A = this chain, B = another copy of it.
Amino acid sequence: MKMEKTENCKGFENAWLSYRLQTDCKDMQYFAAVYVECTDPVIDSAVSELQIASEQILGRRVVLHRKAPVLGAVGIWLKLDITETISKEGYHLYEKEGLLVIASAGAQGILYGSFACIRQLQMTAPLQGIDIKEEPSNPLRMLNHWDNMDGSIERGYSGNSFFFCDEEVLINERTKCYARLAASIGINAVVINNVNVRGNATRLIAEDYTPQIKVMSEIFAVYGIRLFLSLNFAAPMELGGLETADPLDETVRQWWKDRMKKVFTQIPNFGGFLVKADSEGREGPFTYGRSHAEGANMLAEAVAPYGGVIIWRCFVYNCQQDWRDYKTDRARSGYDNFAPLDGKFLDNVILQIKNGPMDFQVREPVHPLFGAMPKTNQMLEVQIAQEYTGQQRHVCYLIPMFKEILAFHTYCKEQNDTVADIVSGRTWGNQNCGMTAVANTGNDVNWTGHDLAAANLYGFGRLSFNTNCSAEEIAREWILCTFGEDAEVVKTILEILMMSWPAYEKYNAPLGIGWMVNPNYHYGPSVDGYEYDRWGTYHRADHQGIGVDRSSAGTGYAMQYRKPNASMYNNLDCCPDALKLFFHHVPYTYKLQSGKTVLQHIYDTHFEGAAEAGKMRSMWQSLQGKISEDIYQRTLERFDHQVWHAREWCDQINSYFYRKTGIEDEQGRKIY
């Protein structure tokens, strides 16, 4: 365990927990005292957070009273109250007769309520008369870090790992700050290592690393966060020396039981495991002719005695496809592999399903597995690491996209049929479910590389805690907490954030087709980059038309949806413009619902998107002097790059189609 490692604990800022002194706060009086009757490590964190905030924002020291307030007392009452109509992770924050009450049935609720109280303070929202009740929408609100033990991060764009370095577990001041940040937005579960588990990462469940993991787990625990690990399905062989990892083999099953017993007893707060099996070269049950249910259940049985959970990823597809093969459809694979297994998984197994059937493109339809497995726990996986959405060099606020996904009606029931309903457990009453995000953090000083990318980290946490929040509300909260209340700053950054995803989509691959990106590192345009490759990601453009026919006449993918989604997608004219090329192969002259031809839409959106990048930079430039020069400058550099790069996207994609079709832009703009 490395308690100190200078180069990996380089300075860090406090993101949205950067407190600014307020000299004129009208709610000063509540921060005279905190009353709390019980002692609990999580509640102690709440107290400590209130004290830090009070000192830094109000310049005032909070006195802690280990008792309930007497009548007429002024202060904050952390009220653990199982008679409240609020759950253990929900909170009720209200002011009554000079007393600010943060009530919950559980310590975690108290902590979240305390952070909510601090947020009000940061936003200079009045506390007097406040009455907020918030129940977390999702049981699990999770971050998946794809951190490797050598310190690198798969698809990481914010520096190196702060969890690992040189094959060791890192624990330092940053670990605690991370836990504070995560808890402040309601995150209650974290996977610290990459889903592709190789080398020493396989040994994270062995004795070697247990002491370190235990220390980290304890740091997380006092902030209400359970630590999870990604697991190597082949561990019985690689670690245990067995000759097989067959999930039906008795020695394998026993090996897992023995191993899990040790892990869970030695690490009290341990949550369970995330598993990527039979995917992109990872070992899995298919190796032994077993089903995913058999694989997941074996692990679930081993962790069940300790309340452990197995989170099983559904990202299973043939990554050795022949590009000449028009029948195989990667989009179909998740549904084809998992839907037939509905009801076969134990209750402590959760299927983790990416938001779309491909892989985190800027626009995809919602994954058809949502709503297709009424007897199976499901969790939504989104990616705030901007792998395909600008790699934290472009600003791309993703919460509006996540809102669309959550609001999608699957029609699996008459009511409560949206993705938000399903993964929250509302639809079918599941307890093991929720939302997870592939994290966008690293050891950069600002945590997320691009300062504005922190809005995605903040936003994911807040959204997973309360899926009713709008993207604008969340953005506004984040801006106020991060940059303060200058009206021009708030208005401008809010506008930038809200226009950023649409702008990125405009200059990216058009109309839902995706994948016009440089192979491997997935950055920058390359229209044919994946067209003749083995990954199942094609646009099928020729000089007359473009798109993949996924209708019933094509690969049939559209029919994996329930009615009326299936017919909407299946029918060329009903299919939404934004997904037209995902579902259909159409001529460039085809008229969209917008009235434009496909080709003119491509030209127009690309010119617009590039122009919008320029506009966002100008807007940012208008803020010079109103935000810290340091943040202003480093963000401006990224905007400069984005403007140049958006022009590359625009010109390359327009030129590609102009050269392929010979059809002129109606507006006569320069295409190369």
A interface residues with partner B (beta carbon < 8 Å)? 323-324, 518-519, 525-529, 532, 541-544, 648, 651-652, 655-656, 658-662, 672
Whether A672 and B541, one on each chain, are in contact in the complex, defined by CB atoms closer than 8 angstroms, is no
Residue of B nearest to A653 (CB): B532
Instruction: Give the residues in chain B near A652, CB-CB below 8 Å.
Output: 532
User: Do residues B324 and A672 form an inter-chain contact, with CB atoms below 8 A?
Assistant: yes
Contact of A659 among B526, B660, B662 (CB under 8 A): B660
- Chain B residue, CB-CB nearest to A532: B652
**Complex Cα spacing A323 to B652, Å:** 9
A400 CB to nearest chain B CB (Å): 30
Q: Which B residues are CB-close (under 8 A) to A651? A: 324, 532
Listed by A's residue number, 6 A-B pairs whose Cβ atoms lie within 8 Å are A518-B519, A532-B648, A541-B659, A543-B660, A543-B662, A660-B660
- Chain B residues in 8 Å Cβ range of A529: 526
Complex CA distance for A651 and B325, rounded to whole angstroms? 12
Inter-chain pairs besides A525-B532, A543-B543, 12 sampled, C-beta below 8 Å: A323-B672, A526-B528, A526-B532, A527-B528, A528-B528, A528-B656, A532-B652, A532-B655, A542-B660, A543-B660, A543-B662, A660-B660
Identify the 3 closest CB pairs spanning chains A and B, nearest first.
A542-B659, A532-B652, A324-B672
For the complex, what is the distance from the CA of A476 to the CA of B660, rounded to whole Å?
Answer: 47
Within 8 Å CB of A660, what residues of B? 542-543, 659-660
Q: For A527, A529, A672, which residue has the most chain B Cβ atoms within 10 angstroms?
A: A672
Report chain B residues within 8 Å CB of A519.
518
> Quick one: closest B residue to A662, CB to CB?
B543
Complex CA distance for A541 and B656, rounded to whole angstroms: 9
**How distant is the Cα of A519 from the Cα of B527 in the complex, in angstroms?**
14
Residues of B within 8 A of A544 (CB): 662
- Using Cβ atoms and an 8 Å threshold, which residues of chain B touch A662? 542-544
Give the residue among A323, A528, A648, A656 with the most B Cβ atoms within 10 A: A528
Complex: A243 Cα to B583 Cα, angstroms: 62
**Do residues B542 and A658 form an inter-chain contact, with CB atoms below 8 A?**
yes
Q: In the complex, what residue of chain B is closest to A545 when comparing beta carbons?
A: B659
Kindly report which residue of chain B lies nearest to residue A323, judged by CB atoms: B672
- Pairwise interchain contact A659-B543, C-beta atoms closer than 8 A: yes
Best-surrounded residue of A518, A651, A659 (most CB of chain B within 10 A): A659
A655–B672 alpha-carbon span in the complex (Å): 22
Residue of B nearest to A648 (CB): B532
User: Shortest distance in angstroms between A463's beta carbon and chain B's nearest beta carbon?
Assistant: 37
Residues of B within 8 A of A526 (CB): 528-529, 532
Chain B contacts of A542 at CB under 8 A?
A: 658-660, 662
Q: A532 to B671: give the CA distance in the assembly, Å.
A: 13
> Which listed residue (B518, B543, B655, B656) contacts A661, Cβ 8 A?
B543
Residues of B within 8 A of A518 (CB): 519
The chain B residue sitting closest to A324, CB to CB, is B672
In whole angstroms, what is the CA distance A323 to B651 when docked?
A: 10
Nearest-neighbour CB distance to chain B for A532, whole angstroms, equals 4
Q: Which residue of B lies closest to A528 (CB)?
A: B528
Chain B residues in 8 Å Cβ range of A528: 526-528, 656
Q: Give bound CA distance, A652 to B530, whole Å.
A: 12
The winner among A518, A542, A651 for most chain B CB atoms within 10 A is: A542
Quick one: closest B residue to A671, CB to CB? B324
Query: Nearest-CB distance from A505 to chain B (Å)?
Result: 20
Alpha-carbon separation in the docked complex, A324 to B672 (Å):
6
A661, closest chain B residue (CB)? B543
Name A656's closest neighbour in chain B (CB-CB). B528
A543 CB contacts on chain B under 8 angstroms: 543, 659-662
Interface core residue of A519, A529, A543, A652 (most chain B CB under 10 Å): A543
Most chain B C-beta atoms within 10 Å of own C-beta, residue among A324, A532, A541: A532
Compute how far the CA of A254 lies from the CA of B656 in the bound complex, rounded to whole angstroms.
Answer: 54
- For the complex, what is the distance from the CA of A527 to the CA of B672, rounded to whole Å? 17
Residue on B with the closest CB to A663? B543
> Complex: how many Å from CA A652 to CA B531?
9
Separation in Å of the A531 CB from the closest CB of chain B? 8
Chain B residues whose CB sits within 8 angstroms of the CB of A541 once the complex forms: 659
Q: Which residues of B contact A324 (CB under 8 A)?
A: 651, 672
Question: Which residues does chain B contribute within 8 Å of A655, judged by CB atoms?
Answer: 532
A651 to B323 alpha-carbon distance, docked (Å):
10
Which residues on B sit within 8 Å (CB–CB) of A661?
543
How many angstroms from the CA of A216 to the CA of B661 in the assembled complex? 60
Distance between Cα atoms of A532 and B659 in the complex (Å): 13
A656 to B655, CA, bound (A): 15
C-alpha spacing A544/B662, complex, angstroms = 8
Shortest distance between the CB of A535 and any CB in chain B (Å): 14
**Nearest-neighbor residue (CB-CB) of A518 within chain B:** B519
The interface residues of chain B lying within 8 Å CB-to-CB of A532 are: 525-526, 648, 651-652, 655
Chain B contacts for A658, CB-based, 8 A: 542
Chain B nearest CB from A228 CB (Å) reads 36
Question: A542 to B527, alpha carbons, bound, how many Å?
Answer: 14
Least CB distance from A656 to B in Å reads 7
How long is the Cα–Cα vector from A529 to B525 in the complex, in angstroms?
Answer: 11
Query: In the bound complex, what is the Cα–Cα distance between A659 and B539 (angstroms)?
Result: 12
> With A and B bound together, what is the CA distance between A323 and B658 in angstroms?
15
Q: How far is the CA of A526 from the CA of B323 in the complex (A)?
A: 13
